[in-house]
């Protein structure tokens, strides 16, 4: 069965959806996106995704295609039309259609809005029990990684390099320090039990899952250090994990060929995943 997707005000079968070749998302990667996870047919942390979307749009002076309530209705309508229970909703906003020019088109140019569902079941992923293997790959992305643009070529190339090495994903490294994963935030837990993850800046995406996880960890009385950590510190960690809307809280059990802990997901990571999943389901809309 073909999906129903949303493009600029209409719900159409996916093979009938069209975007112009002059769309600035296509020509300049002049577009931002969000991926909201779906569990039990409900949206996880929709408000967090909307906050970040608003910030990304503002940072790029990109016009908004709709208000939060309208976007929520589009998300829900797509879940309904596609009978999606587990997976995600991808939403992309570009600066619209204009003749190719580095200068932005007039602000009155209507933005392009594309929204579609994807079916997956990460909540039952086998890696929850085995953990992920990550390779280090240099972070060669641009300097505004805090804006969630569709410019994803280096993360894609880094993931391919990790796969070439037989690993699941890459942790990106700049000046000897880990920034984040290709599509997730990176965390380690030191032998002192402290959770360490890079602080928010232009160097990383401000993860919605990261924000929830840090709040829940603090509520559990765990110590969180928001600071850069080195590749050596990562290799010597007691536990490690990643967070993202797609993977929630996912253990990492091998970093750069080094087994982390006893090679199984650690107890703190497991507890944090359980607490995160409970909270996500409790607050889903």
* Residue 122 binding ligand PLP, by CB under 6 A: no
* Residue 269 binding ligand PLP, by CB under 6 A: no
Tokens linked to 18: 């069209």
* Residue 243 binding ligand PLP, by CB under 6 A: yes
Say which residues have a Cβ less than 8 Å from residue 221's Cβ, sequence separation at least 6: none
Q: Of 82 and 208, which has the nearer Cβ to ligand PLP?
A: 208
- Partnered with residue 170 across adjacent β-strands are 135
CB of 34 vs ligand PLP, minimal distance in Å: 8
Residues 89-108 interacting with ligand PLP (rule: CB under 6 A): none
Catalytic residue among 148, 159, 167, 264: 148
Q: Is the Cβ–Cβ distance between 120 and 86 less than 8 Å?
A: yes
* Residue 253 binding ligand PLP, by CB under 6 A: no
* Residue 244 binding ligand PLP, by CB under 6 A: yes
Say which residues have a Cβ less than 8 Å from residue 145's Cβ, sequence separation at least 6: 179, 180, 202, 203, 204, 205
Size of the residue set binding ligand PLP (CB under 6 A): 13
| End-to-end C-alpha distance for the chain, whole angstroms | 26
Q: Is 281 left (phi over 0), alpha (psi -120 to 50) or beta?
A: alpha
Q: Of 95 and 210, which has the nearer Cβ to ligand PLP?
A: 210
- Partnered with residue 240 across adjacent β-strands are 188, 252
Residues 167-226 interacting with ligand PLP (rule: CB under 6 A): 180, 183-185, 205, 207-210
Q: Specify whether 133 is catalytic.
A: no
Work out the burial of residue 40: count CB atoms within 10 Å of its CB; fewer than 13 is exposed, 13-18 middle, 19 or more buried: exposed
* Residue 36 binding ligand PLP, by CB under 6 A: no
* Residue 128 binding ligand PLP, by CB under 6 A: no
Positions marked active-site: 148
By the criterion CB under 6 A, which residues form the site for ligand PLP?
Answer: 35, 180, 183-185, 205, 207-210, 243-245
């Amino acid at each position: 069965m073909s999906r129903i997707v949303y493009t600029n005000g209409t719900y159409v079968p996916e093979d009938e959806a069209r975007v112009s070749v002059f769309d600035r998302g296509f020509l300049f990667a002049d577009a931002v996106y969000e991926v909201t996870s779906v569990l039990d047919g409900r949206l996880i942390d929709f408000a967090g995704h909307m906050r970040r979307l608003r910030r990304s749009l503002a940072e790029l002076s990109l016009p908004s295609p709709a208000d939060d309530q309208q976007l929520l209705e589009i998300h829900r309508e797509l879940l309904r039309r596609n009978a999606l229970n587990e997976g995600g909703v991808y939403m992309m906003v570009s600066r619209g259609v204009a003749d190719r020019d580095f200068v932005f088109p007039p602000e009155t140019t209507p933005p392009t809005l594309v929204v579609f569902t994807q079916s997956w079941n990460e909540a039952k992923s086998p890696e929850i029990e085995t953990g992920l293997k990550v390779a280090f790959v240099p972070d060669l992305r641009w300097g505004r990684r805090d804006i969630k643009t569709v410019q994803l070529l280096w993360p894609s190339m880094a993931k391919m390099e990790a796969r070439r090495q037989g690993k699941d994903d890459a942790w990106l490294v700049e000046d000897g320090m880990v920034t984040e994963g290709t599509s997730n935030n990176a965390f380690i837990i030191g032998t002192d039990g402290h959770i360490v993850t890079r602080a928010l800046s232009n160097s990383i995406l401000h993860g919605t899952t990261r924000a929830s996880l840090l709040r829940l960890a603090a509520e559990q009385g765990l110590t969180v250090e928001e600071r850069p950590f080195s590749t050596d510190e990562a290799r010597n960690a007691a536990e490690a994990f990643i967070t993202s809307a797609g993977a929630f809280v996912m253990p990492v059990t091998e970093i750069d060929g080094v087994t982390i802990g006893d090679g199984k997901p650690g107890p703190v990571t497991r507890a944090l995943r359980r607490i995160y999943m409970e909270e996500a389901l409790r607050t889903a809309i």
